[in-house]
């Protein structure tokens, strides 16, 4: 079960390493298409975690888990063989459906399989895999991509998924079923609303913020979100009851998790390209280059609870956002001449903030719900994390591309990817300079957004406490 979690979470991180390879490939994706290659998986993953958990309860967790691993393998194989961007995006969407089924049912299978006295340790181990998955995705993805083709990344993921499916089929016990409603309409509405929101963000710079496609996308997102809320409010058994967000602590903690993962995956998206284009790193060195971010998580995660108890919850959360925002702003000052040691130091600063945020905010969500709704809390955490990740990639990709295109020399103006500009520019250094300007702008926007959202989270938490 832990290996399955590492696989589906690691794919979120690994795909960022392949962005330069996608850009230089025969597919010739546009800058918005590059964002969608990353985000299609993440947004489908985010929106279907809770419905996939409901499907496991109703049809059997082992069966849905096996189906998820099969869909994951099928999606990655389709992606590996994709002749064009449209087929690649279809493969990414299918992979995201499989990932949602795997993540939501792996913990349920574990809790059914272990004795009650081992439940706390089992949950802690499973939860730690989401962090390890990010590291494994970067390092493992870097190793696979040294073969020189992005197709090998998907082929390797398919092989691992099929191997895990064989192990699950052989050794996983069958659990009881429950007559839980699936809510397919709500899942479709939430997914459609999220995709429309990202479409508006991604297409804004290229089509124009006042263009018909962008305005229509934002309007459709608002309508679909409203329809989702109405559907869930009318349902006798909603998958994700919008009324839960009336709980101030839950609402602010969900916003906080969304903001933290917004910042993290904005960084992941530009980090891989920055280290390869600006610093000249290979894909393996690039995968290892993000590791300093994880050092505080590995060393300090178990001490955060005691620290928060000493300094107070609000102070711990404020420090978390302060470190993440400062780290992103510090990274935005880097250029091709910045020593990697200085870059790594800012990664550690960002990692300290992430270390403070994740257990603290997750604990707030868990504590805001009664024990009978623990599953809802787990699904809500997964949804907010993945949605924040998708939003971070979309926003930083949009800002970086717009600034990069504006900073290009006049003779290559109009190129939308680094690979396209390098093929046309007489001097590669001019393209790298423009790319660094775009990266810096994207990281600055992400850093400021994290600080602003963090301020809102802390302000609401203090206001709600004072009101009580």
pLDDT digits over 204-231, tens only?
767 777 888 889 999 999 999 999 999 9
Do 233 and 349 belong to one domain? Answer: no
Average pLDDT over residues 361-382: 72
pLDDT at residue 401, as a whole number: 86
pTM for the complete prediction?
A: 0.85
Residue 133 lies inside a defined structural domain of this protein: yes
Strands (E), 83-149: none
Kindly state the percentage of the chain with pLDDT values over 70. 94
Residues 191 and 299 in one domain: no
| 399 lies in the same domain as 341 | yes
d(C-alpha 414, C-alpha 425), whole Å: 12
Residue-wise pLDDT tens digits, 285-338? 988 898 898 888 878 777 887 888 888 888 988 999 999 999 999 999 998 889
Specify the higher pLDDT residue, 316 or 411: 316
Neighbours of 468 (CB within 10 A): 6
* CA 425/CA 215 separation, integer angstroms: 34
* Residue 421 maps to a domain: yes
Same domain, 333 and 432: yes
Note the helical H segments in 235-303.
248-273, 283-289, 295-300
Q: How far apart are CA 423 and CA 28, in angstroms?
A: 12
Check whether residue 99 and residue 40 sit in a common domain: yes
Q: Is residue 418 part of a domain?
A: yes
Asked whether residue 106 is domain-assigned, the answer is yes
- Looking at the fold, whether 105 and 207 belong to one and the same domain comes out as no
In 3-state terms the chain splits into helix, strand, coil percentages (rounded to 5) of 85, 0, 15
Residue 362 confidence (pLDDT): 79
| Contact criterion met (CB below 8 Å) for 442 and 263 | no
Whether pLDDT at 449 is above 90? yes
In a domain, 321, yes or no: yes
Give per-residue pLDDT as tens, 17-29.
Answer: 888 889 888 888 8
The verdict on 293 and 208 lying in the same domain is: no
Phi-psi category of residue 173: left, alpha or beta, with phi > 0 → left and psi -120 to 50 → alpha: beta
Give the mean model confidence (pLDDT) for residues 192-210.
Answer: 82
274 token code pair: 């920055």
The CATH code of the domain that includes 17 is: 1.20.1250.20
Cα separation, 16 vs 346, whole angstroms? 20
Q: Are residues 47 and 140 in the same domain?
A: yes
Domain of residue 323, residue span: 246-468
Torsion angle in degrees (nearest 10) through CA of 317, 319, 325, 330: -160
Instruction: Confirm whether 178 is domain-assigned.
Output: no
Query: Got the DSSP string for 244-258?
Result: GGGSHHHHHHHHHHH
Question: What is the Cα 112 distance to its own chain's centre?
Answer: 28
Cα–Cα dist 291/270, whole Å: 15
* 129 in the same domain as 38: yes
Q: What is the pLDDT of residue 342?
A: 94
The answer to whether position 328 is within a domain reads yes
Would the pLDDT of 372 be above 60? no
Stretch 167-191: mean pLDDT? 79
Note the pLDDT tens digit of each residue in 103-140.
888 877 887 778 877 777 777 677 667 767 877 888 89
Q: In the chain, how many domains are there?
A: 3
Contacts of 438 (CB under 8 A, 6+ apart): 399, 400, 401, 402, 403, 404, 405, 407
Distance CA 276, CA 273 (A): 5
Whether residues 283 and 224 share a domain: the answer is no
Report the distance separating Cα 424 and Cα 415, nearest Å. Answer: 9
Q: What is the band of 468 on the pLDDT scale with cuts at 50, 70, 90?
A: low
For residues 431 and 386, state if they share a domain. yes
Residue of 161, 158, 163, 21 lying closest to 81 (CA atoms):
158
The pLDDT value recorded for residue 220 is 94
DSSP H helix total and E strand total for the chain: 18, 0
Q: Do 309 and 292 lie in a common domain?
A: yes
């Amino acid at each position: 079960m832990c290996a399955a979690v590492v696989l589906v979470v690691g794919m979120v991180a690994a795909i960022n390493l392949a962005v330069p390879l996608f850009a230089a490939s025969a597919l010739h994706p546009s800058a918005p298409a590059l964002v969608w290659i990353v985000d299609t998986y993440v947004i489908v993953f985010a929106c279907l975690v809770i419905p996939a958990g409901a499907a496991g309860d109703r049809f059997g967790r082992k069966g849905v888990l096996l189906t998820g691993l099969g869909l994951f393998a099928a999606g990655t194989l389709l992606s590996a063989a994709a002749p064009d961007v449209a087929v690649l995006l279809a493969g990414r969407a299918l992979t995201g459906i499989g990932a949602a089924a795997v993540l939501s049912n792996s913990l349920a299978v574990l809790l059914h399989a272990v004795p009650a006295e081992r439940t706390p340790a089992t949950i802690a181990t499973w939860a730690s895999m989401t962090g390890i998955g990010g590291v494994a995705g970067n390092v493992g993805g870097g190793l696979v991509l040294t073969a020189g083709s992005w197709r090998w990344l998907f082929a390797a993921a398919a092989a691992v998924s099929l191997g895990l499916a064989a192990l699950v089929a052989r050794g996983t016990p069958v659990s009881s079923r429950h007559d839980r409603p699936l809510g397919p309409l709500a899942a479709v509405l939430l997914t459609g609303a999220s995709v429309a929101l990202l479409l508006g963000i991604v297409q804004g710079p290229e089509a124009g913020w006042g263009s018909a496609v962008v305005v229509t996308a934002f309007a459709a997102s608002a309508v679909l979100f409203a329809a989702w809320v109405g559907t869930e409010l009318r349902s006798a058994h909603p998958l994700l009851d919008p009324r839960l967000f009336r709980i101030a602590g839950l609402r602010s903690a969900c916003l906080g998790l969304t903001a933290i993962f917004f910042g993290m995956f904005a960084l992941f998206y530009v980090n891989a390209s920055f280290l390869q284009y600006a610093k000249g790193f290979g894909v393996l060195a690039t995968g290892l280059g993000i590791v300093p971010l994880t050092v505080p998580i590995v060393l300090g995660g178990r001490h955060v609870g005691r620290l928060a108890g000493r300094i107070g919850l609000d102070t711990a959360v404020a420090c978390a956002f302060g470190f993440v925002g400062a780290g992103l702003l510090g990274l935005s000052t880097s250029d091709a001449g910045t020593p990697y040691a200085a870059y790594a130091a800012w990664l550690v600063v960002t990692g300290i903030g992430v270390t403070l945020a994740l257990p603290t905010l997750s604990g707030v969500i868990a504590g805001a719900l009664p024990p009978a709704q623990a599953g809802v809390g787990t699904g809500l955490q997964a949804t907010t994390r993945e949605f924040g990740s998708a939003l971070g990639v979309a926003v930083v990709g949009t800002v970086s591309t717009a600034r990069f295109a504006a900073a290009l020399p006049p003779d290559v103006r109009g190129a939308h990817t680094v690979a396209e500009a390098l093929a046309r520019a007489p001097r590669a250094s001019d393209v790298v300079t423009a790319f660094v300007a775009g990266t810096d702008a994207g990281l600055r926007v992400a850093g400021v957004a994290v600080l602003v959202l963090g301020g809102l989270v802390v302000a609401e938490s203090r206001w709600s406490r004072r009101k009580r």
